[in-house]
Amino acid sequence: MKRRTFIYNSAVALSGFGAGVNVLDKWASYKDVVIGHHAHRYKIDLNWGALNAQFYPVKDCHEMVQDSRGRIVLLTNHTQNNVIIYDRSGRLIEVWGTEFPGAHGLTLNVEGGEDFLYITDNNRHEVIKTTIDGKVVMVLPYPKESGKYESADQYIPTETAIAENGDIYVADGYGLQYIMHYNAKGDLLNVFGGRGEGEAFFDNAHGICIDTRNPGHPCLLITARQQNKLKRFSLEGQYLSTIELPGAFICRPVIHKKNVYLATIWSGDGGEGTGFVSILDERDQLVSAPGGATPVYEDGKLRPMYQALKIFHHPHDVCVDEDENLYVAQWNSGQTYPVKLYRV
């Protein structure tokens, strides 16, 4: 993989240190790559968070969040260590979790001053709420009471979002495409979405978040990945509007300040290894696509997007830290660790 090539290059440079000038000259001739568009531009650290895979292995790096202490929490479906916690420089702090074979969605919510994690497991067909150090405090099994499911197998949740009042929304992105709305205790309040024709329905409702950018008017942003769309719903489950992102197979939306960040797992016609990162502005327009072609709007419509640089393979989630640096976790990308993008 690229990472190995890079490590090899830097090892050569370090071991050749004594040889002096030649190596340093070569090093100096390298140009740091800067990716992205407009104000959202980044340098790349491919080496961030790389660990000894014999002891801290990953399969798919599905999602990442930052906790209240500033630590970066990675969720992988490798049951040797489902959760890997780093500091922002990529240094390992701790690992935990061996019982999440289908670890997929990771959402952090602060409740009474304490961090809690909501893990969707699409192999166990349930959502598990844990403390930040891995103690299970609640399990939401498949929503039999919804009347929509005949068996747990049909329910393959991919993501959660937690409202300010503690209500829990779960997207069944690989199952029957319904959105479950629970209260904080886990009582099912509402079910909406599902598969079908029309804007209020989904094909691969892969991600969900609470859009808090308009104060006093929170709403839901839900991905329809196969449709290259992001759909806005009220917290009560009413369809409101659609953000069209042609050519961008977006994973979950992540809100940070005025922007929405979306790992984009495939692009163009949906071919393998064609991912990049999408960043929307406060008007929900694509302003930057690190790794992708320049976003261009013609008559208010985004020209279909595609990959321009082979930096990312299959980005699956983006975590944004307080300096607006990005951490990109990737699915099915040679069991590599996350990539960090430094905002410039």
Partner 1 sequence: MKPSLALTLLFFSLLLQSCTAGKETETVYTPSTTFHLASPRCTVDSVLFLNSATLSMELDYPGVAIFYTEDGSAVTQDSRRYSGPVHIDASKTISARAFHPDFLPSETVALPLKKMSTAARNAQVGVRPEAHSSYPGKGPQSLIDGRKGSANFRNGNFWMGYQADTVEVSLAFDREQVIESITLSVLEDNGAWIFLPRCVEVFANGKLAGREEWPAPVAVGPAAMKFLEIPVKRTTTNNLQVKAINWKHIPDWHPGKGTPPWFFIDELLIN
Question: Which positions touch partner 1 (CB under 8 A)?
Answer: 2, 5-6, 10, 14, 17-18, 30-33, 43-48, 89-91, 268, 274, 293-294, 296, 306-311, 342
Exposed/middle/buried for 162, CB within 10 Å: 0-12, 13-18, 19+?
buried
Contact of 278 with 284, CB cutoff 8 Å? no
Smallest distance, partner 1 to C-beta of residue 4, A? 11
Q: How far is CA 44 from the centre of its chain?
A: 18
The residue among 168 and 302 lying less far from partner 1, judged by its C-beta, is 302
The residue among 118 and 337 lying less far from partner 1, judged by its C-beta, is 337
Smallest distance, partner 1 to C-beta of residue 135, A? 31
Smallest distance, partner 1 to C-beta of residue 224, A? 17
Smallest distance, partner 1 to C-beta of residue 282, A? 24
Distance CA 41, CA 16 (A): 32
Tokens 């709420």 — which residue?
Answer: 129
The set of long-range contacts for 87-91, using a CB threshold of 8 Å and a minimum separation of 24, is 88/321, 88/325, 89/48, 90/45, 90/47, 90/48, 90/49, 90/50, 90/340
Smallest distance, partner 1 to C-beta of residue 216, A? 39
Smallest distance, partner 1 to C-beta of residue 138, A? 37
The residue among 231 and 313 lying less far from partner 1, judged by its C-beta, is 313
Cα–Cα nearest to 265, from 291, 303, 241: 291
The residue among 33 and 93 lying less far from partner 1, judged by its C-beta, is 33
Token code pair at residue 27: 């090093």
Token code pair at residue 314: 């299959």
The residue among 142 and 276 lying less far from partner 1, judged by its C-beta, is 276
The residue among 262 and 339 lying less far from partner 1, judged by its C-beta, is 339
